[in-house]
Every structure is written in structure tokens, then in C-alpha cells.
Amino acid sequence: MNQEQMKKIFEDPLEYDESKEDSFRPLIREWFGRKSRWIMINVYVWFLIFLVPMTMSAVLFFKTQQTKFQIMSAAVFVCCALSIGFLKVFAWVMLQRNSIKREIKRLELRVAELTRKIDEGKR
């Protein structure tokens, strides 16, 4: 949000439509946008890097008969599954980053509006 948009919202708050800001579609659109493309590609690459050994360890777990190899493949599976879970959390945090910035801008607008009202009340 640039200064011109903030000024427009500040001057005419009734015209500002908050319902467009909080829906899930704009979040997804921002996630697949140009600014976040490198993050998205990085998350998908790491997802594939962890998915391949996780799948291989699951297959190896059911193929082997020795307990030692079953424990090893189960440990690899759990570590890869946890890593994929962490990647999902990271992706969700990166997805929410823009909405948090938007909330900070809204708070700045509210503070500016309250400051203006306080100044008008003192006169």
C-alpha cells in the first residue's frame, strides 16, 4: 500500500472495502505472485527433496525383515514427515506475512485518524 492509496482511504474511509482484503483468494494470489515466486519454488523443491526419501523409507520399511533396518527406515520416515510439516508451517507464515503488513497499515491509519481527531478537539 503506497502513500497515495493510504491518503485516499484516510480521506474517504466509507469507500474502502475491507472485505476484499481478508479473503483467501487474495492471499493465494499474492502467494503465487511475482514477489513470492522464489519462496514458492523453494518450498516445492524442498518438499520434493523430503518426499523422495520419505517414500523410499516407507517402501523399505515394509520390504525388510530385520528390525534394525525397520527402525532406521521408520526414523527416516518420521524425520522427513516432520520436515514436510515444518515446510508447510513456513509456507503458511509466508502466506500470512502480507496480511500482517496490511493490518499494520490499518493500525497506522487508525492512529493517524485518532491523532487528527484529538488535534481537532483541542482547538
Per-residue pLDDT of the chain (123 residues; tens, 9 = 90+): 566 766 666 666 555 555 455 566 766 776 677 777 888 889 999 999 999 999 999 999 999 999 999 999 999 999 999 999 999 999 888 877 777 787 888 888 888 888 888 888 776
83-87 LR contacts (CB < 8 Å, sep 24+):
83/46, 83/50, 84/47, 84/50, 84/51, 84/54, 87/43, 87/46, 87/47, 87/50
Q: Does the residue 110 lie in any domain?
A: no
Q: Does the residue 17 lie in any domain?
A: no
Rounded-to-integer distance, Cα 112 and Cα 13, Å: 13
Q: Does the residue 27 lie in any domain?
A: no
Q: Does the residue 62 lie in any domain?
A: yes
Provide the residue type at 104 as one letter. I
**pLDDT number for residue 38:** 84
With beta carbons less than 8 A apart as the criterion, state whether 21 and 102 touch. yes
User: What residue numbers bound the domain in which 70 lies?
Assistant: 50-101
Q: Does the residue 86 lie in any domain?
A: yes
Indicate the number of domains in the chain.
1
Q: Does the residue 15 lie in any domain?
A: no
Write the pLDDT tens digit of every residue in 73-107. 999 999 999 999 999 999 888 877 777 787 888 88
Q: Does the residue 32 lie in any domain?
A: no
Rounded-to-integer distance, Cα 10 and Cα 113, Å: 7
Q: Does the residue 16 lie in any domain?
A: no
**pLDDT number for residue 4:** 73
